[in-house]
Amino acid sequence: MSFLKMMALIRSKVMHSLRSKVKQSKVMHSKFMQSKVMHSNGVRRSQVQSSIFFLLLAIFSLYIAFRIPHHIDENTSSTRNTIDKYNENAIVGLEKKLEEKDEIIEALQDQVDQQMNQQLLFEKDHSNGKLTTELRRKKENTGTKRKITRISLLGERNSGTTWMSKHLIECFNSTNLSVRNTLTRYKHWFQDESIDANKHQETLVIAQFRDVYQWVEAMRSKPHQAPMHWNIHEKRKLGWEDFLTKSWTMPRTRKDMEYLRHNFEKGINSTSMIECHRTFSFNEINACLKDPFDEKEYKLYKDDGVGAGLTEPRYEFVPDGSGRAFQSIIDMRAAKIENFLSVVDYEFVSQLLVVRYEDALAKGTEFVIREIEELTGVKATCQPNAAQPERPGRELPYAQIEWMNKYVKWETEHKIGYTQLEPEIQKVEML
C-alpha cells in the first residue's frame, strides 16, 4: 500500500470516530438534562464530568481530523519535490549517457569509414582503368620537378616481386627507364637513405606487399634466409605457432664471432663500424658474413628440401642501431612496411606506388602499367599480364587466424589496405 493511500485510510477512520463521539456526547447531554431531577447531586456531577470529557474528546478528534490532511499535504509535497529532483537528476544522467553513447557510435563509425577507405585505396576505377590516386604516396613539391629515370621495386620475400620484376623489365627496360630490384639495398631488406646518397637517380619506387595471412604461410613453407625457422633435420616446416612466436634471429656462428674478434683486434670497438655484406653493419644483421657456416653446417642447410637459401642467413635487426632482434616475424613485417613507406621522403624518390600482390593477380597488371606510364610519361612496350582470379589461397587453421588477429600490427597493415579476417573464414581467396 502506498503512503498516500495509507494516510487517506487513517483520515477516514478518524472522521468516523469523530462523528461517533459527537453523537454520543449529544445523547449523554440529553440524558443528563432529563435526569437532573431524578438523580442526586453526586450523580449529576458525575454525568456533567462525563459530558465534559466526551466534549473535550470530540474537540481533540476535530483537531486531529483537520491536522492530519495538512501533514499529508506537506508530506505529499515533500515527496513530490524529492521525486521531481530524482527524476531531474536521472534525466540529466541519462542525457549524459546518451551523449557518451553517441560519441562512441561516432568514433566506431569513423573507424569503420577509415577501414572502408583503406580497403578502397587500391580498388580499380572501372571508368578509366586507373587506380585511385590514394595509391600514390606523394611528397611535397619542394623545387623543380626532375624527370624520373629509374623504377625501383621493393618487397619482402614471398611477395611476388620476382614475377613483378620480370614483367616491369619487359615493359620498361627498353625505354628511357631502368628497372632495378634495389633502392639503397636489395629489394627485400630495410632501406637506408644514407647509403650512397649522392649516387641515386630520380626514382619511382614500387613497394609491393602481400596479405599478411597468406604471406606468413608462404614464409613458413619456404623461409628464405631464415634457417632457424625451418625444421632442417626433418626437412619440413615448423608448426604455425612455433613459427610465429620464435624470435627472428639465430645464434651467432663461429665464423661471425671470429670476424668480430678480428675487428676488435684491429681497434674497431663499435659493432656499428664493423662492415657486413649487403651494406649492413654488425649491429644490424645476423649473420654478418655472407657464408657464415662451416663445412658441416653448410652441407646440412644447403640440402634444406625447399631451396630457401638457408646457407645465407639474413636476420635483420630492429633498424635503430641497437642490435636488438625482432621478437617475431610479425614484428619484423610491421617495421619493414613502415620502412618501405618512408622512402617517399628520400630526396631522390619522386613517387611511391603501393601495389598489393593480390590485386595484380586478381585484376591483372594493367592498372600498374598505366599508373607507371602516367607518373613517368613513358609508354610501356609490353602487354599487361592477364588476371588470374582462379589462383587458390592457402587454408589457415581457426586458431592461427585468431592468434594473428590479436598480435598482428593492424594499424600498420591498414596503411597498405589490409584488414582482419573473421575467424570463421578458413580460406583466403588469394595466393
Residue 389's pLDDT is 84
3-state secondary structure of 328: coil
pLDDT tens per residue across span 172-224: 998 899 999 999 999 999 999 999 866 789 999 999 999 999 999 999 999 99
* C-alpha cell belonging to residue 131: 587506380
Give the helix ranges, DSSP H, for 121-153. none
Q: What is the pLDDT of residues 263-322, one digit of tens each?
A: 999 999 999 999 999 999 999 999 999 999 999 999 999 988 888 899 999 999 999 999
Q: Is the pLDDT of residue 73 over 50?
A: no
The angle that helices 161-172 and 366-376 make with each other, rounded to 10 degrees, is: 50
Task: Identify whether the C-beta of residue 212 lies closer than 8 Å to the C-beta of residue 419.
Answer: no
Mean pLDDT for the chain?
79
Rounded mean pLDDT of 113-132?
A: 40
Residues 99-120, mean pLDDT to the nearest whole number: 52
Q: What is the mean pLDDT of residues 380-398?
A: 91
Higher pLDDT, 131 or 340: 340
Which of 55, 53, 69 minimizes the C-alpha distance to 15? Answer: 69
Cis-peptide into 334, omega within 30 deg: no
Is the N-terminal amide bond of 65 cis, ω within 30° of 0? no
164 vs 355: CA distance, rounded Å: 10
Local structure of 145: helix, strand or coil:
coil
Strand partners for 125: 130
* Residue 318 identity (one-letter amino acid): V
pLDDT in tens, 13-39: 545 555 665 456 554 545 544 444 344
Quick one: three-class SS letters along 396-411?
Answer: CCHHHHHHHHHHCCHH
Instruction: Please report how many Cα atoms fall inside a 13 Å half-sphere around the Cα of residue 72, on the Cβ side.
Output: 17
Compute the average pLDDT of residues 328-349.
97
Q: Cell numbers 597468406 correspond to what residue?
A: 214
Query: Which CA distances in Å does 146 have to 174, 294, 342?
Result: 21, 49, 20
Q: Is the pLDDT of residue 165 over 90?
A: yes
pTM equals: 0.69
Q: Which residue has the higher pLDDT, 102 or 180?
A: 180
pLDDT digits over 231-274, tens only?
999 999 999 999 999 999 999 999 999 999 999 999 999 999 99
DSSP secondary structure code for residue 394 in this structure = -
Indicate the DSSP class of residue 30: H
Mean pLDDT value of segment 403-424: 94
Residue 98 pLDDT greater than 90, yes or no = no
Q: How far apart are CA 87 and CA 102, in angstroms?
A: 22
pLDDT at 109: 54
* Cα→Cα distances 24→20, 21, 35, 44, 397, Å: 6, 5, 16, 17, 96
Most confident of 42-51, 55-64, 196-205, 379-388: 379-388
Question: Whole-angstrom Cα distance, residue 25 to residue 68?
Answer: 23
Mean pLDDT of 371-384: 96
CA 278 to CA 186: how far, in whole Å? 8
